[in-house]
Structure 1
Amino acid sequence: MTLPPAEAVSAAPPTRSFHALGGDVLELLYQHRVLSTQQLHVLLTLPEKRPERPVYLRWQLGELLKAGLVDRIRAKGPGGRGRVQSQPFLWFLTEAGAASVEEAGELPSRPYRVSPESVAGARQAHTLGVNEVGVAFVEWARRLGHECGALDWTPEVANRIRDGQRRFEDDHVISDAVLNYVHMERGGRRTMLSFFVEFDRATMTSARLAAKLEAYGRLYEYVPQSGDRTRRTPNATRPAWMYNYPVFPRVLVILDAAPPKAGEADRRPQRLAARTEDLYTRAGADIRLSRHKGDISIGVTTLRQLQEHGPFAPIFTPLLRGTPSARPAPTNLYLGTK
């Protein structure tokens, strides 16, 4: 992404108090759980005022660390390798930091607590990748004059898709994130967009990812059943998603893959293109999704395309349009007319 030249640190003295910026850091870490120093730097600083090095932010993070409100670990290298000292810091709240945010009452409560062990776990790269999707939307909203801020996506949102008491994962579809975006058009017209975000690092089979997309078809149809039929209201046939979303959010699948090992050819573009093809075939063959192809939009792109070209470039392959022999051309974030 090409951004305006960064100003030198000496030419951009901090204009925000420790209390203000520190509070923003705590809120971001509370909502997004884990963020790298660079992700915090981008989210908290406008491009035209962003110094090349986040000196002031690092100082403030150090103060929060000394106060016991945040903690940090080094990120893993590619594939878990690399010199630890060369990896960026990942920041997260301590119990005291989370309690301070909840005491302020500005954000919806999130009972999940982060620990050094959970940050260092197997999902670290996935969590940071979801953050990169959100950062890309924020950066492009700033460039285009739209509205999408650092708190406009929420990670790991669960929606029930069937009645019963099975495993939580069987009764719910858990989106990697739900993101809200306001598209500003000429004349001041505002179009509010909502998205279910699925970030895929090509670590699961395409069949498993397609099964998760099929779960969104279940979500679209799911109507909670009351045990007492005599007390059912006229809303008893209303799908559950309508209680949380004004319209059914579009589903965005953002693909990425780990970089190649030293000496290996970079075959990521071919791998991700093949994955898109597999998802298109599987989604088109799913009876439930096909039944709702006029109501559900699912689009696939790569993280690199999103970062370089933005969401309103024709970078999304619609999964529920066209035919197996005539796949539609990539389109923009609107995914057609819906």
Structure 2
Amino acid sequence: MSDPTAVRLWVGHTLTVTETALAFLEDAPRHGALCRPLDRLPEVHHPIGSGEAAIPDALLYYRLGPVGDDSGSMLRAFVEVDRATMGPERLAAKLPSYQHFHCYVPTPPGRRPTIQEPALEEWRRHYPLFPRLLFVLDGTGLAGVETRGSSLRATAAQLTTSHFLNDVTVLAASLANLLQHGPSAPMWRPVRDPDLVT
């Protein structure tokens, strides 16, 4: 990148994504969970057809249960960090991309699914369950976080005809709350029901 503004924005965004992952890393031992430094993968590419893709800022792994015990539940989350460098509508437009990924079934050229080999959504090749979708909002103060949350809710309301929001947990929280209280604190708001706090 040769544009200094683009470099500054990219570096700031990368640091905020890292700061978000560190909050999970620091919080895990307090709850007998496991989240290691390499349990965060940046910008994992998930194709959704026509050359498009859902690319979260991070894919985060978090194991519940005692450390060293592999029988605990493995949680996965797509993390989207918003630093108010894009409009609320552009942020909310990420929801339909994840919805598309949730139902996307790739078809090899010249082949159709058969009874022996039924069509399978692309995400099932990588994950046993579709990862949670976490929006971490920063850079706008309380009013800006509310505006961005409202935009996410409005977009979510338009997706009610699909099973996406029934099948996938989609939550939003402010970075300030995440850093102050830790990710396991009751601060996450479901985009479908903002009055509920989990």
What TM-score do you get using the length of structure 1 for normalisation? 0.53
Which residue matches 1:147? 34
Which residue matches 1:293? 165
For residues 240-251 of structure 1, what are the structure 2 equivalents within 5 Å? 240-251=122-133
Which residue matches 1:109? none
Residues 269, 328 of structure 1: CA spacing in aligned structure 2 closer, same or farther, 3 A cutoff? closer
For residues 247-326 of structure 1, what are the structure 2 equivalents within 5 Å? 247-257=129-139, 268-287=141-160, 290-320=162-192, 322=193
Of structures 1 and 2, the one with the larger relative CO (CA 8 A, separation 6+) is 2
SS at match of 1:125: helix
Deviation at 1:156, TM superposition (A): 0.8
Which residue matches 2:64? 183
Aligned with residue 216 of structure 1, among 82, 95, 98? 98
Q: Which runs of no fewer than 5 residues in structure 1 stay unpaired?
A: 1-113, 259-267, 332-338
Which residue matches 1:131? 18
Mapped partners of 1:255, 1:282: distance in 2: 16
Q: Which amino acid aligns with 2:41?
A: T
Q: Which amino acid aligns with 1:310?
A: G
Mapped partners of 1:230, 1:270: distance in 2: 50
Instruction: Deviation per CA, 1:18-60: give whole Å up to 9, x if none.
Output: xxxxxxxxxxxxxxxxxxxxxxxxxxxxxxxxxxxxxxxxxxx
What TM-score do you get using the length of structure 2 for normalisation? 0.87
Q: Does the 8 A contact of 2:159 with 2:165 survive in 1?
A: no
SS at match of 1:299: strand
Q: Which amino acid aligns with 1:222?
A: Y
Deviation at 1:281, TM superposition (A): 1.9
Mapped partners of 1:283, 1:122: distance in 2: 27
Residues 139, 245 of structure 1: CA spacing in aligned structure 2 closer, same or farther, 3 A cutoff? same
SS at match of 1:253: strand
Identity %, equivalent residues: 35
Q: Does the 8 A contact of 1:224 with 1:236 survive in 2?
A: no
Deviation at 1:222, TM superposition (A): 0.3
Deviation at 1:287, TM superposition (A): 4.6
Residues 310, 230 of structure 1: CA spacing in aligned structure 2 closer, same or farther, 3 A cutoff? closer
Q: Does the 8 A contact of 2:17 with 2:57 survive in 1?
A: yes
For residues 1-338 of structure 1, what are the structure 2 equivalents within 5 Å? 120-162=7-49, 164=50, 166=51, 171-184=52-65, 190-229=72-111, 234-257=116-139, 268-287=141-160, 290-320=162-192, 322=193, 327-331=194-198
Q: Which amino acid aligns with 1:318?
A: P
Q: Which amino acid aligns with 2:151?
A: D
Residues 253, 138 of structure 1: CA spacing in aligned structure 2 closer, same or farther, 3 A cutoff? same
SS at match of 1:202: coil
Q: Does the 8 A contact of 1:225 with 1:236 survive in 2?
A: no
Mapped partners of 1:287, 1:120: distance in 2: 38
Q: Which runs of no fewer than 5 residues in structure 2 stay unpaired?
A: none
Larger radius of gyration: 1
Residues 226, 234 of structure 1: CA spacing in aligned structure 2 closer, same or farther, 3 A cutoff? farther
Q: Does the 8 A contact of 1:317 with 1:329 survive in 2?
A: yes
Mapped partners of 1:221, 1:148: distance in 2: 29
Deviation at 1:173, TM superposition (A): 0.9
Mapped partners of 1:233, 1:145: distance in 2: 44
Q: Does the 8 A contact of 1:255 with 1:301 survive in 2?
A: yes
Instruction: Deviation per CA, 1:219-256: give whole Å up to 9, x if none.
Output: 00000112223685744411010111111000000001
Q: Does the 8 A contact of 1:223 with 1:236 survive in 2?
A: no
What is the alpha-carbon root mean square deviation over aligned residues? Answer: 2.5
SS at match of 1:293: helix
